[in-house]
Chain A
């Protein structure tokens, strides 16, 4: 008898009488499932099909069909000791039930589950028991596509088992009330297992019970249903104390995922909202179900098999890492599908290590910005406190720069406002987020640009580091031309897309979007990439026309994104000359070192690297010409575009120089030494980036104009005027003479929408006249005259006779502010004052005052759109309003144009996503 296997016997030696409830999810595979169930070597007492409607009912007959599991339980005879819940998309191996019964009985488990393998890929694991985190997010513990090598074939207690095949003691099943019919399969299984465990039962996975699962039931597991099920399962299982912190955290995590998921092409916000709404509606049902849960154990039993931390957060970070890896990989490598790796293997790869190093440097070089913000120098002013006001101003509203203007704001203001919207209106971190993002994408962009030329990861990421922390970035940051840094960071991507993308339509779509982004920050980026590609065509004629064509087409398609500003740009001279004269005065050290690297590359590097060196040198030379046009009174824009070009040129030179140096020993003779000299020079230049990394502000100074003007914070909002050197003024100034400029800004804190001045209007001419008169000795009551402009303070940005002239004024009170020469206007300087003398307070770009309204003099440039009852008061406005609010009446054409422009950008985004999906599907 010892040879007789009881499991193969029909004798009553069977330890359990089992009935199978085959739960229909998808239905099409019901016949196969029933066949697999029928082939079980452990004989089933009965097989009942659950759900699936008339089709399923017809397939098995009315006696063996029920609509719910609960009905199925009722239909079972009293002799049935165990119930086997099987999905209709599951194909249990013939010995699966036997293993479940025997192993479950052996260890005394009330609920046992199977090892689930993917149907069609029988060697691929789907689950061998599952764990969760505290937020009930399932975790298989498996790597994607992990093969079954019996590595998990150990009988063990788990948090829950897959619902595809569950054998459960009938008594226990009736005690816990059966599966929750409201939950989809995954959460249904989790919920059932949790209740069994709380009721004192063991949940065990039996790996020898193999089930092939084709996953049809996943159609029911839509994201929102998973979310809803998780929440319901938590609400039912956890103690109130645990729920007190788990539920809020779960909400925050869900929201975070909803915000981040669009980056990965998924929209989770609606699923998130729907899941919570679903639970809200079913809260009474959930409470009722919770009351019915039998609790022999407490939460500690649930915690026993939970993984530490948040699986969802881990998953998100993994997705971010994957995304970064995909960005880092060259397209050639991506197309080979080599990026599928485990996390540990990924990190060990040079490309990823370099990527992490480059990105790490970018984050290191910007770390202090998070704490301190971006110092308000040059154009780096904090975004508007109210993003709605900023968007309103951008869309045909009042341009508050200087004494104001109806001219449209620069696209950069709109772009920053959109980022601000994404950050829930937080202006304080919008600029920081943009700059940190720019630093990161700048590093990766250079690496992407150089990768296909055979520049290996370390060299190309080092070149990326040089882009964001080299002389170009330092100069741009030091002068507060922060938007130039953004444009410079996008430029390598633009070049890479035009040169390396295989499909022209994809290249054009991406190029258009990237050009729109870059040109929003520095409008000349409409033409700079094409110019750079023309230079490349000189170096390498192959595909030259194609590359330039792609770039030009992208630039043309990007033009609508710059409206309404571009449409209203009728003074090109003003555009080219506004802002402080930009002048790149490279140190001899940098000049010589870069020249050595470039010359070395040209002379001794292999052909592709030599081409890169030559191209980099041409970009550097061309960019330097533009970046030194300050002597022609060209303003900031040409300089910023030139500096971006020069920065990318230098990065290319450094990348090719490092790579050539790394290959020095591939050759002999003089060439080897030339490469080594270039390598040494490139490394020395790279060392200079430490000066940016250590302070951690990306080259921005620690203090700016906001700190300088902080003494005005106690007074009502007003204006201050800077007089002296234009380079020291926020956003540059208007010239009184070639050496002396002035700049009117709002106090206590000038905002980004003031950074770019519009062409002069009446008030600007008037205040220039007043200042000129005082500085040339034409008047000695400057304060009295400036007060009519709402200017309460004067800051002299240069020593010398400007200060002497201001010192001679009779109504200016010098203030003792360290490191700053400041005068306070003696009399009250109000921007808006009514006939009773009441001060109307600046609010956004408008004003608020007493609710009774009245006639108000506005110290803004005259424009009849300030109110219906309007009259010109010299250069300003006198308006009569009924209420307590004065708002500039928007210019509808500009507002409509801005909306169309926004829609156009949206279309570009959709085009890029669509093209990306074509490629993925291809």
Chain B
């Protein structure tokens, strides 16, 4: 009997032990970054690829709450120069040209709080351009380029980290995929950049698109075209079925929308053009797999116009706007948002700067706009399928809309123009 009792007691104890669950982390794998203790505001880092041309970069960053902004110029694995400033809600900027004439390299913008946004204005004696600053992605698509005889087409590959990076490039032209063995694997040193002279490599091409696949590290690409009409810079993006271009044609230039279908199915594309007065027209086209098609905006309107590209499959789209007034390029907005920052707006006092808001919806949208950090904002009404051009009086622009909209901004110099997108923000809960 006693043996049985002891056996039962032992069995009960063993069962109790067996019932104890294993600790959750017993496998030693941390698949997701878990909830970490609150440590105050989150920070943000923006990578600005830069451009090698006769321009000075003016780095800008916007904060909607007090914080620090740091600008860094990495080069050859090291830090060439850096500048840090504390700002109240507003815009911090650093004119790199004050110390380094025509600095060709990329830059890093860090902010100690979010929301934040960063952008670069490139200003030279002749050329003007604007570009955003970006966060890493593993695959980038850049469409809309050309390689004309008088143009310098350069693909900038920026590695912001201390780790060696490597990318694979695929170039698509009007001849289809271009088998360029030298570009199959390109290494970029830590905190350094590589410029790929596509124009020299390919010769003249009427159509040029590049897919950048990051195989190691972090790489931020951008494409720049410098020609007789000025300088245009635009970044890579990811394919999407919808693209909104708040400004598809800058005043005084002819806009072209390039649509590249990197997929394996035909893309049935509809392009809706809109102006300040409302819809301009609706156009259909089909983009074959692996091909790029172009739509000439100027063939439909000579005014400033916006465009919305809707496709049956995910495509890559970009606009080029080039003419006597200058040369500009931009990617589109894949997902409209209700709040936008335009960090570089009106930062350079001798350049005219405008903000464009596109309401692609059917209903009118109320938009409040003002300088970043300003207590009061002006309110404008944007009708459905229309754009407005805003003259925000002050450094930076903070756009809050009653419904999702798309925002772009343009700077206008004496001989050139620049075009860029705003930085979309999530709407802050009250």
Contacts and interface: CB of A to CB of B under 8 A. Distances in A.
Contacts of A775: 33, 36
Contacts of A805: 33
A740 B42 contact: no
A585 B22 contact: yes
A450 B192 CA distance: 71
B13 A538 contact: no
B17 interface: yes
Given A621-B10, A737-B34, A810 B26 contact: no
A780 B162 CA distance: 13
A620 interface: yes
A538 B6 CA distance: 8
A674 to B, nearest CB: 12
Given A740-B36, A780-B110, A812-B162, A798 B6 contact: no
A669 interface: no
Contacts of A769: 37, 39
A610 B7 CA distance: 10
Interface string B10-50: 11111011101111111011111111110111111100000
A804 B161 CA distance: 13
Contacts of A808: 45, 136, 161, 218
A654 interface: no
Interface string A767-789: 01100110111111100000000
Contact of A610 (B3, B33, B35): B3
Nearest to A799: B29
Contact of A810 (B3, B39, B108): B108
Interface string A619-656: 01110110111110100000000000000000000000
Contacts of A615: 6
Contacts, number: 168
Contact of A736 (B26, B36, B112): B36
A210 interface: no
B67 to A, nearest CB: 11
B9 interface: yes
B413 interface: no
A724 B23 contact: no
Contacts of B30: 724-725, 739-740, 798-802
A628 B18 CA distance: 8
Contact of A620 (B14, B22, B43): B14
A631 B20 contact: yes
Contact of B23 (A617, A631, A809, A826): A631
Contacts of A826: 162
Contacts of B190: 813
Nearest to B4: A602
A804 B16 contact: no
Contact of A630 (B7, B23, B39): B23
Interface residues of B, number: 47
A284 interface: no
Given A581-B23, A726-B25, A801 B33 contact: yes
B163 interface: yes
B26 A630 contact: yes
A812 B34 CA distance: 22
A538 B136 CA distance: 66
Given A618-B9, A781-B110, A804-B33, A602 B3 contact: yes
Contacts of B108: 810
Nearest to A622: B13
B9 A777 contact: no
B160 interface: yes
A575 B34 CA distance: 25
Contacts of B36: 736-737, 740, 772, 775-776
B44 to A, nearest CB: 8
Contact of B40 (A624, A778, A809): A778
Interface in B163-190: 163, 190
Contacts of A777: 42-44
Interface string B153-164: 000000011110
A798 B10 contact: no
A802 B33 contact: yes
B4 to A, nearest CB: 8
Given A602-B7, A810-B160, A814-B162, A621 B17 contact: yes
B39 A773 contact: yes
Given A602-B3, A740-B36, A776-B42, A621 B26 contact: no
Chief secondary structure at chain B's binding surface: loop
Nearest to A604: B3
A728 B25 CA distance: 11
Interface in A712-727: 724-727
A434 B32 CA distance: 41
A653 B40 CA distance: 56
B25 A727 contact: yes
B390 to A, nearest CB: 31
A675 to B, nearest CB: 14
A583 B24 CA distance: 11
A614 interface: yes
A636 to B, nearest CB: 12
Given A738-B24, A769-B39, A800-B29, A625 B3 contact: no
A599 interface: yes
Contacts of A773: 39-40, 43
Interface in B92-116: 108, 110, 112
A807 interface: yes
Contacts of A631: 20-23
B25 A738 contact: yes
A539 B3 CA distance: 9
A736 B39 CA distance: 12
B320 to A, nearest CB: 32
A780 B45 contact: yes
Contact of B7 (A599, A739, A768): A599
B16 A621 contact: yes
Given A736-B37, A778-B43, A798 B28 contact: yes
Contacts of B7: 599, 602-603, 614, 617
A776 B36 CA distance: 6
Contacts of A810: 45, 72, 108, 110, 160-162
Most chain A CB within 10 A, of B7, B24, B40, is at: B7
A598 interface: yes
Interface string A728-753: 10000000111110000000000000
Contacts of B17: 621, 624-625, 627-628
A811 interface: yes
A772 B162 CA distance: 21
B16 A625 contact: yes
Contacts of A798: 28-30
Contacts of A800: 29-33
Contacts of B10: 598, 614, 617-618, 620-621
Contact of B3 (A614, A780, A812): A614
A884 to B, nearest CB: 33
A809 B41 CA distance: 17
B28 A727 contact: yes
Contacts of A620: 10, 14
Contacts of B3: 602-603, 610, 614
A624 B14 contact: yes
A583 B22 contact: yes
Contacts of B21: 631
Closest 6 CB pairs of A and B: A621-B13, A617-B10, A624-B17, A801-B33, A614-B6, A813-B162
Interface of B: 3, 6-7, 9-14, 16-18, 20-26, 28-37, 39-45, 72, 108, 110, 112, 136, 160-163, 190, 218
18 contacts: A538-B9, A610-B3, A615-B6, A618-B6, A618-B13, A628-B20, A629-B20, A631-B22, A631-B23, A775-B33, A778-B42, A779-B112, A808-B161, A808-B218, A810-B45, A813-B163, A814-B161, A814-B162
Given A780-B45, A780-B110, 8 more contacts: A538-B9, A610-B3, A617-B14, A725-B25, A737-B37, A778-B41, A779-B112, A808-B45
